Structure 1
Amino acid sequence: MQMKKMSALVLSLSLLASASAFSSAQAAENPLSIRLNDDQIQFGPTEPILENGVTLVPMRPILEKLNVQVNWDEATRTVSGTKENLSFTLQIGSTNASANGQAIKLEEAPKLIQNVTYVPLRFVAETVGYQVGWNQSLRQVSLTSKQQSSGSRGFLWKVENKGNTVYLLGSIHHVPEGMYPLRPEIENAFQAADHLGVEVDVSTVAPEELQKQVLDWGVYKDGTKLQDHISVETYHKVTAVLKANGIPENSFDIFKTWFVTQQIMNLQVAKEGYKPEKGIDNYLIEKANEAKKPVVSLETMESQMKMNNSFSDALQERLLLQNLDPKSVTPPSPDIGIDDLNKMWIEGDEHALTEFTTKGWDAEYYKGLIADRNVEMAEKIKGYLNSDKKETYMVVVGMLHMLGEQGVVPLLEKEGFKVEEE
């Protein structure tokens, strides 16, 4: 099914695409769980554990589920696993390992707990051909078979100055299953980076802080409600969506139109199989956290919310209608489906991205969502490049920020930096 047309907001804001404040669960209330291709793995009396941010799982149950042939050397306490042409070795108590013939340093060593061997889940699963995802709110690890990544190009550039290197990756915040790992050039750039830069590091946003910011910026405080800021017809379309999803029809009444738009987008993309927790920035943030690689934010949660809050009522209603009923309004951004946007990313089609970034935009919307933010992002990146520290950064922001006359790549080129496509 072709995904319905929707606002470019879904591609440009990592925070709001990644964290819903409308309803949340405390992580501590959920036990750690592992799902393989949407089926939960049962470990019996032994359970997965978290050690220093690394998920360790009982070896036998997980390797059986992944169809890995196992060899155990009692003398050296070494585990060897093979699956088709993929292989790994692990040693109990040691962080030295190998993956497909390459030496690897683990963040956490395999260990014996009450005579049960526990192994690091991400290392084992990725080595034998699975994508690994982590949902913080659910405390859930997802393992999915790799299907699509070998043909996914994406948008990657490299800039060097004064011994510093910045890799620029244009991302998509909602992706289908089977996207990972990314092509080798992207994965290698991440491995080479001393720091990962993102729009907002959502892994550090506590639920109570997100709730506070939503109350500050996303809720009407002047006694008005949603229905006072949009037409009767638009309000009826909102309540119809809520009713269709089993949500009380007045649930959005206190929220500002821009925030309601975001929540409706989250409902829509989830139905089409696009999961924000599996977005490219979240994927790399998870990897950085596991590798203890510093993550820096180019923006803040507050700045993204303030930007949305600054849009006029008329623009906010058009954005809402672009998601509810695209034919009823002149779209404030190019009217293109999320399936097409993912195809654009997979093919690395720079011409299509430039066209999408520069044509068919409402001036107010483009200035707030794209142009103004691009200038600030480019300034942060210039700071990394002009530093005396001789470090490497991988900067990952929505692909809409990269190209076009006011894109981050052209802005850096205008400052004299040589930006090379990777």
Structure 2
Amino acid sequence: MKKISTLLLSLFLVTAAFSSVQAAEKPSSIRLNGEQIQFGASEPILENGVTLVPMRPILEKLDIEVNWDEATQTARGAKEGLSFSLQIGSANAMANNQGVQLEVAPKLIRNVTYVPLRFIAETVGYQVGWNPSLRQVTLTSKQQSEGGRGFLWKIENKGNTVYLLGSIHVADESMYPLRPEIENAFTAADDLSVEVDLSTIDPVDIQKQIVELGIYNDGTTLKDHISVETYTKLTAFLKTKGMPEHSFDKFKPWLVNTQLSNLNAANDGLKPGMGIDEYLIEKANKAGKPIISLESADSNYKLNNGFSDALQERLLLLNLDPNSVVPPAPDVSAEYLARIWKEGNYDALAESTQSSGWDAEYYKGLLTNRDLAMAEKIKAYLNSDKQQTHMVVVGFSHMLGDYGIVRTLEKEGFKAEKQ
């Protein structure tokens, strides 16, 4: 089963929020182009959120030529025209002839030199990823990953600039590195706007909201709210996953569907912790760039919970047996959505967005109402007298369509240019 509803961001918010607060003393693994790096007896450590690794093994793995100055305790590395230098005990470093302030200085631990992994890898051209749920660092070379193009527009008005990036909430290493136009837009922006700032979500509040909205508390169970046929398909699906057939009996259909969507996304190798929006949120936090939430986690849960019982069951069937859905729903897999994002296929994006209209209630709740509300906030950016640059990152399904953000702004007279 490889189906995933583009609707259900809520579980991805839940998963990402829970995983982001799972503190760890050290990363569980570091992978280079998919292969785990072995460090022997000297394991990587985590200090103030910075992964430090033994210097010599990582430089060898990354094929970095190194010159060590014993007198000054300084290491100078170079690879394919890229270079760095750093000194034990000093937070002042050089990256490609530019001064850099390290968050954690290199240090000696039991006669082993430890250096900040991200600084080393990014300086010589590797894409660095972090999966909080697995506590896994990934290093991807440019040769290994073509990255993704995504969907990017630029709108200007009254001295203000808005970059609109259509995001994908679950991703994998192949989505990175982002193309320079996206990275440059982020650098130019005074702030970052996203659907929900995942870094500010309290998992305790999430648990409370899920219990209040997604769990039956009236003595009924899932069997009382969906057909026998749908429940039978659910239990069969759970058996294929090695899960007890009554695992979700206390959940409402929308919450069951978010769980299935997450399972299916994981089967496709896609992870919430690697989503484009989460990557940029993390980057904004490190840069001290303000982050603005256009929506709230609470609004997503209420949206899902507010759908009629009939629609909730049909959305559940999309993950269990899409051919049984009446009226017929679009056949859109997680792999397909990821592929069109990587390709930056605007025609496929428009077609995919339009196909979401297979159910009027679904389309209005998922897209129309939310798109119009977000478009109003973006219009305020464009009509401001502050003359600022903003980067807005929301799911790509919100961009096009009859009431999509881009189309709505164009109808208001703004000119959106593809980047």
**Normalised TM-score (structure 2):** 0.89
- 1:386 aligned to which of 379, 383, 387: 383
- 2:392 aligned to which of 390, 395, 404: 395
Say if 2:175 is the partner of 1:179: yes
Q: Which string of whole-angstrom CA distances, capped at 9 and with x for unpartnered residues, describes residues 100-119 of structure 1?
A: x5x26345253324465443
Please report how far the alpha carbon of residue 213 of structure 1 lies from its aligned counterpart in structure 2 after TM superposition: 1.5
Say if 2:203 is the partner of 1:203: no
Rounded Cα–Cα distance in structure 2 between residues aligned with 1:159 and 1:75: 54
- Tell me the equivalent position of 2:254: 258
Whether the 8 Å contact between 1:95 and 1:109 is mirrored in structure 2 is: no
Say if 2:291 is the partner of 1:295: yes
- Tell me the equivalent position of 2:52: 56
Range that drifts further, 57-66 or 267-276:
57-66
Q: For the aligned residues, what is the CA RMSD?
A: 2.7
Aligned ranges 1:298-377 → 2 under 5 Å = 298-330=294-326, 333-359=329-355, 360-377=357-374
Listed as ranges, the gaps of 5+ residues in structure 2 are none
Residue type at the aligned position of 1:7: S
Q: Which string of whole-angstrom CA distances, capped at 9 and with x for unpartnered residues, describes residues 297-343 of structure 1?
A: 11111001100011011111111111111111136752222222222
Residue type at the aligned position of 1:397: V
Please report how far the alpha carbon of residue 287 of structure 1 lies from its aligned counterpart in structure 2 after TM superposition: 1.9
Please report how far the alpha carbon of residue 248 of structure 1 lies from its aligned counterpart in structure 2 after TM superposition: 2.2
Residue type at the aligned position of 1:110: A
- Tell me the equivalent position of 2:27: 32
Whether the 8 Å contact between 2:83 and 2:123 is mirrored in structure 1 is: yes
Percent of paired sites with the same residue: 61
Say if 2:103 is the partner of 1:105: no
Whether the 8 Å contact between 1:4 and 1:337 is mirrored in structure 2 is: yes
Rounded Cα–Cα distance in structure 2 between residues aligned with 1:303 and 1:220: 19
Range that drifts further, 381-390 or 208-217:
381-390
Residue type at the aligned position of 1:111: P
Aligned length: 414
Q: Which string of whole-angstrom CA distances, capped at 9 and with x for unpartnered residues, describes residues 193-214 of structure 1?
A: 2212111122222322221111
Residues 313 and 146 of structure 1: CA distance in aligned 2, closer, same or farther (over 3 Å): farther
SS of 1:330 mapped into structure 2: coil
Q: Which string of whole-angstrom CA distances, capped at 9 and with x for unpartnered residues, describes residues 350-382 of structure 1?
A: 122112212352100000001100011112222
Rounded Cα–Cα distance in structure 2 between residues aligned with 1:334 and 1:317: 16
- Tell me the equivalent position of 1:268: 264
**Normalised TM-score (structure 1):** 0.89
- Tell me the equivalent position of 1:286: 282
- Tell me the equivalent position of 1:4: 2
Residue type at the aligned position of 2:325: V
Say if 2:79 is the partner of 1:44: no
Whether the 8 Å contact between 1:318 and 1:331 is mirrored in structure 2 is: no
Q: Which string of whole-angstrom CA distances, capped at 9 and with x for unpartnered residues, describes residues 242-296 of structure 1?
A: 2222322222111110111111111111112122211111221222223232222
Please report how far the alpha carbon of residue 137 of structure 1 lies from its aligned counterpart in structure 2 after TM superposition: 4.1
Whether the 8 Å contact between 1:148 and 1:180 is mirrored in structure 2 is: no
Range that drifts further, 232-241 or 386-395:
386-395
Aligned ranges 1:19-168 → 2 under 5 Å = 19-20=14-15, 27-28=22-23, 31-36=26-31, 37=34, 39=36, 41-42=38-39, 44-45=41-42, 47-51=44-48, 53-74=49-70, 77-92=73-88, 93-99=90-96, 103=98, 105-114=100-109, 116-146=112-142, 150=146, 152-168=148-164
Residue type at the aligned position of 2:317: L
Whether the 8 Å contact between 2:26 and 2:51 is mirrored in structure 1 is: no
Residues 415 and 301 of structure 1: CA distance in aligned 2, closer, same or farther (over 3 Å): same
SS of 1:27 mapped into structure 2: coil
Residues 312 and 400 of structure 1: CA distance in aligned 2, closer, same or farther (over 3 Å): same
Listed as ranges, the gaps of 5+ residues in structure 1 are none
Rounded Cα–Cα distance in structure 1 between residues aligned with 2:347 and 2:150: 13
Rounded Cα–Cα distance in structure 2 between residues aligned with 1:56 and 1:128: 17
Residue type at the aligned position of 1:261: N
Residue type at the aligned position of 2:173: E
Rounded Cα–Cα distance in structure 2 between residues aligned with 1:252 and 1:24: 21
Residues 250 and 21 of structure 1: CA distance in aligned 2, closer, same or farther (over 3 Å): farther
Residues 106 and 162 of structure 1: CA distance in aligned 2, closer, same or farther (over 3 Å): farther
